[in-house]
Structures are given as structure tokens and as C-alpha cells.
Amino acid sequence: MGILVQNESQMQDLVRALGVEPEANFLYARHHNGAGKAFALDLLGPSATAASEPAFLLVFTPAEIIAQRLSNQQVHRYARADLTNFKVRDGAQNSVVIDFDHTGEHVSFYADMGSSMRLQYVADNLAALMANHFLGYATDMSQVGQTGLASFKYPLLESLLPVALVIAMLALKADHFGRYLAISGLILVLIWLPKIPRPHRR
């Protein structure tokens, strides 16, 4: 069974094999890399990034979240009672990032909102899960589904500080302007890097 083209019926069979009745409660998702790791892997090329973002079946139930790696069928079960800091936010290329902590381990996945054809069920299930706050796991949905400038609200506000620093250094004709410029540039990169569209996330 190919892991990159799972259709809805194939995924439903996998959900049932996990002991769960498939409804709008499962996603085709990928492991999500942090901003720093993602940037480093992008420099190495698409193959390095793809290898670091394996595909998963992600199932939400009232008692647990189940993640089954599609390449080797390895199953991880995250009990709700042991799960903290569940967050959902907009990702790159019209995706949604799902983050949580489980007994000291940080777990992160992303799923595409705009899936089509064989993966249309992913977009449909994702919309249903967002509507019910991921079965109540998500207590704050304010960081997902933003459009236009609203989706960039925090990076835009945060960018004012390094830009203001550069302007102040120019106005004061500071001796170490190059150092401040480098610091401001680094801050801007850290703010905006997670928002840069990533072509492999289509």
C-alpha cells in the first residue's frame, strides 16, 4: 500500500484496525519540523526534508490521540490524561500545525487544509475537527483559519521592534551600526521564517 496516496477507504480500514470507528476523526498528516530544523533541511534539499517528515495516520478519540506511521505501521498512543499544551495554528502553504506535549515529549504534525482529489477527505475531516475544537482537545482556536493580514498579525507587530532598532541606529549614527543591523536581521529571520511558504507542503 503506497504511503503517499492513501485514499479514504484505505485510511478508514487502518482506523478500524486500531479499534476506532472512522468518522470525521482522522487525518493524513506529516511530522512537523521546527523552524530551525526546517530551514537547515531546506538547504540540504527536498529529499532531506521529505525524509524528516514521515507520513502518519492521525486519529482523534475522546480518550486518546493515535498516530500510526504509514511506512512501518508503528503506532503511538497519546492518552488524553497525559496530554498537555495542545495547540492548533496556521502553518505554511495552507496547512494546519497540531502541537502537544505528552509525558515530557513534544509532538508536532501538520495536515493540509486544501487537499484535493484522493485526499479531499483530509480537508473535509480537518474542517470538521476544527469545528468541534478537535474533540475538545483545543481550547483556543484563534491561531487557525486566519486570512489576509490577520494571519500575519503577530509577525508584523514583532517586526516593528527590529525595524525601529535599525531606524534608531541610523538616526543616532551609532558606532556599531553593522552589529545592530545583523542583530535586527537575525530577529526578523526568526520571526518570519516559520511563515515562508514551503513548496514541498502542497
First to last CA, the chain: 21
pLDDT score at 167:
76
pLDDT score at 120:
87
Interatomic CA distance for residues 62 and 6, integer angstroms: 25
pLDDT score at 116:
62
Average pLDDT for consecutive 10-residue bins of the chain (202 residues)? 67 96 94 50 42 82 96 93 91 82 90 74 91 92 61 53 72 70 74 51 34
pLDDT score at 40:
39
Of 44, 144, 128, the C-alpha closest to 90 is 144
pLDDT score at 149:
40
